[in-house]
Chain A
Amino acid sequence: MPLDKQTKRSVQVLGIDAGGTMTDTFFVDSDGDFVVGKSQSTPQNEALGLIASSKEGLEHWGLTLEEALSGIQTGVYSGTAMLNRVVQRKGLRTGLIVNAGMEDFHRMGRAAQAYLGFAYEDRIHLNTHYYDEPLVPRHLTRGVMERIDMSGNVVIPLREDSARTAARELIAQEVEGIVISLLHSYRNPAHERRVRDLVEEEVAAAGKTIPVFASTDYYPVRKETHRTNTTILEAFAAEPSRQTLKKITTAFKENGSKFDFRVMATHGGTISWKAKELARTIVSGPIGGVIGAKYLGEVLGYSNIACSDIGGTSFDVALITQNELTIKNDPDMARLLLSLPLVAMDSVGAGAGSFIRLDPYTKAIKLGPDSAGYRVGVCWEASGIETVTVSDCHVILGYLNPDNFLGGQVKLSRERAWNAMKEQVADPLGLSVEDAAAGVIELLDSDLRDYLRSMISGKGYSPSSFVCFSYGGAGPVHTYGYTEGLGFEDVIVPAWAAGFSAFGCAAADFEYRYDKSLDINIATDASEDLKTAQAQTLQAAWQELKERVLEEFEINGYSPDKVQLQPGFRMQYRGQLNDLEIESPIIEAQGAEDWDKLVEAFNDTYGRVYAASARSPELGYSVTGAIMRGTVPIPKPKIPKEELRGATPPEEAKLGSRKFYRHKQWVDAQLYQMEKLQPGNRITGPAVIESDATTFVVPGGFETWLDGHRLFHLKEV
């Protein structure tokens, strides 16, 4: 990433990661060079922070905003604004229509929402449980009389007068959106759609414009708590976010841009800010990194990738297997049960800022779950932090440069960290300060390593068939620790680790994905005719979803022939409650032999994910869902390709040395400036490679070399 090129550039891609504290922008030019801009976030008007961050980044290239924006074809946004709106309950006044008699179910949160997102200790500690305010309060909820059963049969015909009354009462309460969610509407949407039409009639009759959201039009999947929450998010939070995105688009257009922003979505693709289902952009930032890793893998030929991202508060892990993301269908986010397809990403509540405490009763070492976040630790006097953190350990052990944290913006005190560590951890455990700090790091690394290992083995693989990507501001400090001994095929740290999520956003496909619940049940020895009939049921669902995907692309001006479609399905052994998502080996399902191919793909995956002994084909099979994904090609950042130089790093990359503690001894670690290292350079530990936004630690027993794509490869020697 040579930052000194002064020729006229053509900037093509902009990726944005608007986090809670920092807004990162990532620009890519036509040669594949990129630059990262950083600025404080501005939650009141996000556009301000974005413009500032862009200017800051482009300054490195000597470009003004106007010069750069005119050529950009693609802009991808990811951010936490919608999530924050949900967490703070600052959404629109939303009304909810459900079955008569069940008006309480949304606020009851299925009980599970009382402890979602809690750590082990709090999950068992009953008096810590609590419910958040429901997204829709009880007094804005109404019931309509009807019932449809699990097979889609009508038990009680819809009583239309109850729907009209419900609509009128909610309209009178001045709601800004109305959500309708009736039981089993995913199976038979007739009543719910009729209620939707009646509500729209009443809205029109009242002379108002209130958007109406029927769950079946958005998330036609089983489990009413999930489906209802998710549809409510559309009304409650997505519409305001749409306005925010519109504002950002406008702000950039005023500065000369010609593109429409797309938004990173939970399923791992990007969608237009005009998309119907915008709730799925609720979480987007961390997904960016996974998409970036997937893209790098596709270009460089890695098909199995373990993505690991450490920031201040958490360690996020996601797996890419055979170039495919793993998708979770009923995840929880912001303490809500949802039915969004979400790139499966597991988080451990332990990051660089995690607090370290000893349990006063058992003296057990506890890491997190709370963290100092951007306030680093005791080592930063101005932070006001009094409990030691993981970063304090790093400062004590010489892993971090106290004078160059965030490029020297924050000065850290090793002495403060040392004293606090002695008092709070080392003395009570009877250890030296260095051993206590090293022990904590070892414990954290071991936790993260186990986590990685269990995630990979949980998918039925071993680490030796995976390449591990390590990124995030704090990732490269820990990379050696959490990969040591796992036997990964390769361990890769991109030189732009700190801006990797924004890079990933820029690399994401333009992709829509729709899901639909199905109930296809079939015995293992079913007749050919039955298999054919079931294959065709699935095909009908694929067709319905395909039309919706194509419709979304039409809004953005892509004709159906530009769209590449990939069907998928969810299957389980009959009677089970959990299914597996399988990418379909066939594009269309018509006959019995097609059915058998689907079953074969499922049995293979099941045996890998659980255990061969857990396979239960004698029970027969159920297809529980159909999936359709559609993509169109978009310009993506080019991966840099530079010529390899010699193995020896240039002298100007060297920054002197620092005392470094590991394995019970102090050694001298050679320090390097990351940006000055050249492709082909090989560095043997102990060494610390520093840049403004990240620090890459290469301890003794490890070696790293920089390849032509500016990727560091870390190896145990």
Chain B
Amino acid sequence: MNMQTSVKTRGIVRGGETLKEHRDRLMEATKRTKHYAGLSKMALRDAEPIKYNKLFSRLRAGVVDARETAKKIAASPIVEQEGELCFTLYNAAGDSILTSTGIIIHVGTMGAAIKYMIENGWEENPGIRDGDIFCNNDSLIGNVHPCDIHTIVPIFHEGELIGWVGGVTHVIDTGSVGPGSMSTGQVQRFGDGYSITCRKIGENDTLFRDWLHESQRMVRTTRYWMLDERTRVAGCHMIRDLVKEVIADEGIESYWKFAYESVEHGRVGLQARIKAMTIPGKYRQVGFVDVPYAHEDVRVPSDFAKVDTIMHTPSEITIRGDGTWRLDFEGSSRWGWHTYNAHQVSFTSGIWVMMTQSLIPTEMINDGAAYGTEFRLPKGTWMNPDDRRVAFSYSWHFLVSSWTALWRGLSRAYFGRGYLEEVNAGNANTSNWLQGGGFNQYDEIHAVNSFECAANGVGASAHMDGISHAAAVWNPEGDMGDMEIWELAEPLVYLGRQIKASSGGAGKYRGGCGFESLRMVWNAKDWTMFFMGNGHISSDWGLMGGYPAASGYRFEAHDTRLKEIIAEGGTIPCGGDTDPENPTWEAMLPDARIKRDKQAITTEAMFKDYDLYLNYMRGGPGFGDPLDREPQKVADDVNGGYLLPRFADSVYGVVLADAGDGMKGVDVAATEARRRAIRKARIEESVPVSDWMAGEREKILNKEAGVHVQQMFAASFKLGPRFEQDFRAFWNLPAEWKLMEADLPIPSYGREYSMDISELPDVKTVQFVEE
């Protein structure tokens, strides 16, 4: 019998294409025409604008509603109070059509997971059918960090795939080396916690039993895990039902067109906004953050990771006259032996999240913005690693500090166009993360991960102060949560919750202040905690003369004798650590073992009842010269606890006077004199730029810099030849001057040898950026 050897099987996508054929066709057309899916005309939107708007508003309302309803199923305060979840609707190719509010960075990361399934033949094996449920949290294919768990459900219509819906929650623990979702002890992926690669975990809307058994024992906080999963599945199913209803009412043809036109619409919308709000040109800026791993309180398994380093991200935004733009991160640091690496998708999606907060705050936000943005992330950098061993659990450490630079770049453009209200001097470093675990007040295995730092100070704009204790760059809807709820979730009682004075950067308009919580361990057993945040480096700058926000530090107290002090009626530390340079708590705890230093990253330390932990949430940077600040506002800041009194004089040049009732007012004449004196002193201290540069150049030639600084530049030079050329030209360095990591007295494993995930057999990674 003569059998045909290659039978073309019908694909599952509506119309008969396979997923791969479908996406290939779309991408080819996008590339060829510069319009998403080749849609140079939006037929549905142009012919039936009302129907198009109806589809949009109905689907968007439904997606938002699903998030609001589903989050009530969760037990984790991160999800329920902080809203750390998000649902997104995708077309068949995995491009997002629209999204709910929440952690919308995952619009991109879940899309990347869908595209990974498409490119790696999931259609044939394990197969994609109506009623399937997939789970993913793999940071090597685009996730931000392993604690963001994706549930992905395909949507079928009359037996053909027409799209996907994804739901994500940030879980409290993923079973990594240390408890908490963003632990610090591991330096490789293998300690980063449970990792799931687009795994089919259910069929016919039912989760597999082997999945339920395995996944529950892979994490510390099983109840949170289970209910988070039910939250995601219920939300996805609500949205799938919604899509089916919409199709029943409006017809599949309209829905199908909408699913692609809306992406092109989003792209055009971004371009229009860029044109309207910015000025063409190049904008350069830079971000840094500290990785202080040489310290004894950072206990990692590998000697080669025990080094102090600085992460570095120079960036260049190019805006063209037609509203297209390109973001280039040449010169960024190499990935490292820590948990602060990021995938290209999380890096770019997060930038998109920032843009929705100022450039495109519209309901019509979707992957169109991603297609409207060109990115270049050199391969091997921390945001596009070329090694499959890298860990990601707290990629945010440097994401937030790199992006704050972009706010400043864009803000210069807004300022130039007169959009003073849109200016943002930068975002706070969203920390500290209070994490830890052991046995809790219910005598169960537990992990804690406070999300109070969803409420940091916001950078100032060019016409008003940034708001205080309010938001995070990853979620503008900040919420610090009720203390009574955190005390249910954590065996730690509050002894204070106070606005952190002087944490916001000074300026004509000051940055919003953060806040701080003082926690006392209570009813915990075999307990540990650690710190995670910036300490030595303030990651946000301030803009046009504004000051950076204060950087972080840690305060922990052990063996406090507080039990006795309470019983004896002695003074108990409470409220905030108002002026860390003139601390008051130490005197109240004379016998305690106290750690107060700039070591704001630590690994699990042992804590017991009556020990103290200070959770300090950072402020945002300021805008403009502090000497231009209205003096009364400075007095108001002192009265309101936003500014330590001594900085009124030294930073703002404001001389305070008593205004009765314990309040401060302004001595106007003395203030004018003081400000004149400061301005005069500034001029006296100044030197011509050329003199200053000559001095600095000498230092560079003599390599008068810390080893961590030298390592940072050496690594950037290696991965960014153009960055090195620019550096050499700027400082006029001779050819024989060379800065090599190999010459430095610290290990640099990973410098020469690396192996990418794409080198594994049968793995096709999806490329989203230029490298």
Q: Residues of A with Cβ closer than 8 Å to B?
A: 99-105, 108, 110-112, 114-115, 120-127, 129-131, 138-139, 143, 145, 147, 149-151, 155-157, 159, 173, 183-184, 222-226, 359-365, 429-431, 439-440, 442-443, 446-447, 450-451, 454, 458, 485, 573-578, 610-611, 613-614, 616, 619
Partner-binding segment picked from B55-63, B301-309, B732-740? B55-63
Closest to A450 in B: B58
Q: Which residues of B contact A150 (CB under 8 A)?
A: 441, 484, 487-488
- State A430–B49 Cα separation when bound (angstroms): 9
Asked whether A446 and B49 contact (CB < 8 A) given A110-B480, A619-B223, the answer is: no
Which residue from B237, B468, B478, B518 sits with its C-beta under 8 Å from A101? B518
Query: CB distance A121 to B493 under 8 Å?
Result: no
Q: Which residue of B lies closest to A130 (CB)?
A: B467
Question: Is B688 an interface residue, CB under 8 A from the partner?
Answer: no
Binds A, one of B65-73, B135-143, B155-163, B547-555: B65-73
- Interchain CB contact under 8 A, B478 and A616: no
| Nearest chain A CB to B239 CB, angstrom units | 11
> Is the CB–CB distance between A122 and B361 below 8 Å?
yes
B454 touches A (CB below 8 Å):
yes
Q: Find out whether the CB atom of A120 lies under 8 angstroms from the CB atom of B467.
A: no
With A108-B499, A129-B471 already in contact, the answer to whether A157 and B566 are too (CB < 8 A) is yes
Chain B positions within 8 Å of A431 at CB level: 49
Which residue of the partner chain A has the closest CB to B79?
Answer: A577
Do A111 and B480 have beta carbons less than 8 Å apart?
yes
Chain A residue nearest to B490 (CB atoms) is A150
**9-residue interface stretch from B181-189, B227-235, B283-291, B690-698:** B227-235
Cβ of A104 and Cβ of B74 under 8 Å apart? no
Residues of B565-598 whose CB lies within 8 A of A: 566, 569, 572, 574-576
Q: Is B424 an interface residue (CB 8 A)?
A: yes
CA distance A125 to B101 in the complex (A): 11
- Bound form: Cα–Cα A442–B441 in Å: 55
Q: Can you show 29 pairs from A to B with CB atoms below 8 A apart?
A: A101-B494, A108-B468, A111-B479, A114-B478, A120-B60, A122-B361, A124-B104, A125-B361, A125-B476, A129-B471, A138-B640, A149-B487, A156-B572, A184-B484, A222-B482, A361-B269, A362-B265, A365-B53, A442-B54, A447-B61, A450-B57, A451-B61, A458-B65, A458-B69, A576-B75, A577-B72, A577-B485, A611-B237, A614-B234
The answer to whether B268 touches A439 (Cβ under 8 A) is no
Q: Which residues of B contact A183 (CB under 8 A)?
A: 483-484, 487, 494
Query: Of the candidates A110, A125, A359, which one forms a contact with B479 in the assembled complex, judged by CB atoms under 8 Å apart?
Result: A110
Asked if A104 meets B515 with Cβ closer than 8 Å, knowing A114-B470, A575-B75, the reply is yes
Name the A residues within 8 Å of B476 (CB-CB).
Answer: 115, 123-126, 129
Cα A184 to Cα B73 with chains together (Å): 24
Instruction: For A447, list chain B residues within 8 Å (CB).
Output: 57-58, 61
| Residues 397-418 of B at the A interface (beta carbon under 8 Å) | none
Task: Spell out B's residues near A (CB within 8 Å).
Answer: 46, 49-50, 53-54, 56-58, 60-62, 64-65, 69-70, 72-77, 80-81, 101, 104, 205, 223-224, 226-227, 230-231, 233-234, 237-238, 249, 265, 268-269, 272-273, 276, 356-358, 361-365, 421-422, 424, 441, 454-455, 458, 461, 467-471, 476-485, 487-488, 493-499, 515, 518, 520, 522-523, 566, 569, 572, 574-576, 639-641, 661-663
Chain A residue nearest to B362 (CB atoms) is A121
Interface centre among A156, A362, A439 (most CB of B within 10 A): A362
- The answer to whether B641 touches A439, judged by C-beta atoms less than 8 angstroms apart, is no
- The distance in angstroms between the C-alpha atoms of A276 and B356, with both chains bound, is 46
Q: Which of A101, A149, A439 contacts B497 (CB 8 A)?
A: A101
The answer, among B50, B69, B520, B574, for a CB contact under 8 Å with A100, is: B574
3 residue pairs, one from A and one from B, having the closest CB atoms: A101-B574, A125-B361, A439-B50
Measured between beta carbons, the chain A residues less than 8 angstroms from B75 are: 573, 575-577
Q: Which residue of A lies closest to B104 (CB)?
A: A124
Chain B residue nearest to A574 (CB atoms) is B223
A450 to B576, CA, bound (A): 48
The closest CB in chain A to the CB of B639 belongs to A139
Q: How far is the CB of A117 from chain B (nearest CB, A)?
A: 12
Q: Which of B226, B478, B494, B522 contacts A112 (CB 8 A)?
A: B478
Given known contacts A108-B515, A361-B362, is B421 in contact with A127 (CB within 8 Å)? yes
A224 to B484, CA, bound (A): 7
Q: Contacts A104-B515, A108-B499 hold; do A429 and B49 have CB atoms under 8 A apart?
A: yes
A697 to chain B, nearest CB (A): 19
**Partner of A616 from B72, B226, B499, B639 at Cβ < 8 Å:** B226
Q: Are the C-beta atoms of B467 and A129 separated by less than 8 Å?
A: yes
Whether the pair B424, A126 counts as a contact (CB closer than 8 A) is: yes
Q: Given A111-B480, A183-B484, are A126 and B357 neighbors across the interface (CB < 8 Å)?
A: yes
Chain B residues near A122: list those with CB within 8 A.
Answer: 361
A111 contacts B471, C-beta separation under 8 Å: yes
| A443 lies within 8 A of B50 (CB) | yes
Q: Look across to chain B and name the residue whose beta carbon is closest to the beta carbon of A441.
A: B50
The number of A-B residue pairs with CB atoms under 8 Å apart is 250
Q: CB-CB < 8 A to A99: which residues of B?
A: 494, 574
Q: Give A107's nearest chain B residue, CB to CB.
A: B499
Q: Is the CB of B641 within 8 A of A104?
A: yes
When C-beta atoms are compared, the residue in chain A nearest to B353 turns out to be: A124
B424 touches A105 (CB 8 A): no
Contacting residues, chain A, for B522 (C-beta < 8 A): 149, 155
Q: Which residues of B contact A115 (CB under 8 A)?
A: 476-477
Q: Name which residue of chain A comes closest to B456, CB basis.
A: A111
Q: How far is the CB of A446 from chain B (nearest CB, A)?
A: 5
Asked whether, in the complex, the Cβ of B46 is within 8 Å of the Cβ of A446, the reply is no
User: In the complex, what residues of A have CB within 8 A of residue B574's CB?
Assistant: 99-101, 143, 145
Q: Measured between C-beta atoms, what is the minimum distance from A617 to chain B in Å?
A: 12
Chain A: CB-nearest residue to B496:
A101
| Contact assessment for B494 and A102 in the assembled complex, using a CB-CB cutoff below 8 Å | yes
Task: Kindly identify which residue among B53, B477, B483, B495 contacts A123, using a CB–CB cutoff of 8 Å.
Answer: B477
A127 to B426, CA, bound (A): 12
* Shortest Cβ gap from B698 to chain A (Å): 43
Residues from chain B with a CB closer than 8 A to the CB of A139 are 639, 661-663
Is the pair B230, A613 in contact by a Cβ cutoff of 8 Å?
A: yes
Instruction: Report B-chain residues with C-beta under 8 Å of the C-beta of A360.
Output: 272, 276
Task: Give the complex CA separation of A495 and B499 in angstroms.
Answer: 55
Q: Which residues of A contact B576 (CB under 8 A)?
A: 101
Neighbouring A residues of B458 by C-beta, 8 Å: 126, 129
Q: How far is the CA of A458 from the CA of B515 in the complex (A)?
A: 37
Flag if A614 contacts B230 (CB, 8 Å): yes
- Given the complex of chains A and B, what is the CA–CA distance between A147 and B485 in angstroms? 15
Bound complex: CA of A156 vs CA of B231, how far in Å?
Answer: 38
Given A121-B362, A447-B57, A458-B65, the answer on whether A104 and B480 have CB atoms closer than 8 Å is no
> Are the CB atoms of B569 and A159 closer together than 8 Å?
yes
A223 touches B74 (CB 8 A): no
**Which residues from B are CB-within-8-Å of A450?**
57-58, 61-62
Known contacts A111-B469, A149-B523, A446-B57; is A365 also within 8 Å of B49 by CB? yes
Q: A364 to B364, Cβ gap below 8 A?
A: yes
CA distance A611 to B73 in the complex (A): 10
Asked if residues A131 and B227 are in contact (CB atoms below 8 Å), the reply is no
* Residues on A with beta carbons closer than 8 Å to the beta carbon of B76: 577
Task: Tell me if A223 and B358 are in contact (CB < 8 A).
Answer: no
Contact A361 B276 (CB under 8 A): yes
A120-B101, A157-B566 are known contacts. Are A613 and B575 too (CB-CB below 8 A)? no
A143 vs B116: C-alpha distance when bound (angstroms)? 56
Q: In the bound complex, do residue B234 and residue A610 qualify as a contact, i.e. CB atoms below 8 Å apart?
A: yes
Chain B residue contacts of A364, Cβ below 8 A: 53, 56, 362-364
Beta-carbon contact of A610 and B663 below 8 Å = no
